[in-house]
Amino acid sequence: MFKMIGIIIALSAAVVCSSASMAQPSSEVYPNRSVTVVVPFPPGGGTDAGARLIAQKLSTKWGQSVIVENKAGASGMLGSEYVSRAKPDGYTLLIGNVGTLSINPSLYKKMPYDSEKAFSPISMIAELPYVLLVTPAFPATSTKELIAIAKSKPGKVSYASSGSGGGPHIAAEMFERAAGIELLHVPYKGGGPAAADVMAGHVDMYFATVLESIGSVKTGKLRGLAVSSLTKSPALPELPTIAEAALPGFDTSSWIGMVAPAGTPNAIVDQISNDIRGVLNDPEVKKTLIGQGATPLAMTPSVFKARIESDRQRYAKVIKDANIQIE
């Protein structure tokens, strides 16, 4: 009798424990608390805007807070280093771009982390083509005319950049070499001052993402000649591509994507990647990104890793050929 009572009590306890475990969230469920997404740039730029849109949608999907934290400095390396040293559990993530993940490794002799081993790629989020822009007073109204003017005045046509070694600088160097022209580089500390001086006519031309330049093009403060990607931008459909306008095969774009600290479990990386794909398939998200001049583009972790590495090799050659050096 006592033995039977003991068995009943034991079974009852097992049922209670089982019910309690079912009622409580499992520690293996991801995410079961807030997630921090680090943007290694100041608020307001293209990378930050993309990060906040994705974070908002992931928060809704996960039922957890997804907090965007800006850690700007050192060309994106400050925030990137912070994430590289974070616990690899999926709760601290990085929104990087072509500069932080593919250009910086060739641009800087010393970095505070091993760029090839520090992160686990998750997914690209969007490509952001550049627009070839000129000041409204510049006589060229097409890419071919711009090239012809530059050839007639070697080293006289000037172009602004948001800083030596940044994406717009690399794009201009690629354009210069593809066109066989010699331009004068005028670097600035940020895209805002660079665009302002082009608008004012102090500098002739500038490469900026569609996201950054669409307002100025629409209002006539800057003249857009062409976009840098192989396909036209839906946000500026009136502009041809540089490839079709003058230089066949010309193709360069900025992009933003998400990575995690190296060592993050594959199951978590794959889940986040799949969830980002789901977010980017949302019609509202697509419309927002395209309207801002970005092309939504989800990738599996392996495909994104290959893109990061191929762009590193590609831009390393540009940096070497142009002898771009950053101390």
Q: What is the pLDDT along the chain (327 residues), one digit of tens a residue?
A: 434 444 434 444 443 343 333 333 444 799 999 999 999 988 877 788 889 999 999 999 999 999 999 999 888 999 999 999 999 999 999 999 999 999 999 999 899 999 899 999 999 999 999 999 999 999 999 999 999 999 999 999 999 998 888 899 999 999 999 999 999 999 988 888 899 999 999 999 999 999 889 999 999 999 999 999 999 999 999 999 999 999 999 999 999 999 999 999 999 999 999 999 999 999 999 999 998 889 999 999 999 999 999 999 999 999 999 888 886
For the chain, give the number of residues. 327
- 147 with 217, same domain: the answer is yes
Q: Which pLDDT belongs to residue 42?
A: 85
- 49 with 120, same domain: the answer is yes
- 134 with 227, same domain: the answer is yes
Q: Which pLDDT belongs to residue 211?
A: 86
Three-state secondary structure call for residue 40 = coil
Q: How far is CA 235 from CA 50, 213, 214, in A?
A: 16, 11, 8
- Structural domain boundaries, residue 43: 35-128+254-321
Residues 159 and 322 sit within 8 Å (Cβ to Cβ):
no
User: How many other β-carbons are positioned within 10 Å of the β-carbon of residue 50?
Assistant: 26
CA dist., res. 288 & res. 157, Å (int): 36
Residue 7 placed within a domain: no
Whole-model pTM? 0.84
Q: Which pLDDT belongs to residue 283?
A: 95
CA dist., res. 191 & res. 213, Å (int): 10
Q: Which pLDDT belongs to residue 4?
A: 40
Q: Which pLDDT belongs to residue 11?
A: 41
Of 183, 211, 245, the position where a domain reaches its end is 245
- 175 with 233, same domain: the answer is yes
Q: Residue holding tokens 């424990």?
A: 17
Residues 228 and 132 sit within 8 Å (Cβ to Cβ):
yes
- 78 with 43, same domain: the answer is yes
The number of domains in the chain is 2
CATH number, position 60: 3.40.190.150
User: How many other β-carbons are positioned within 10 Å of the β-carbon of residue 271?
Assistant: 16
Strand 92-97 relative to strand 35-39: parallel, antiparallel, unpaired? parallel
In eight-state DSSP terms, residue 274 is H
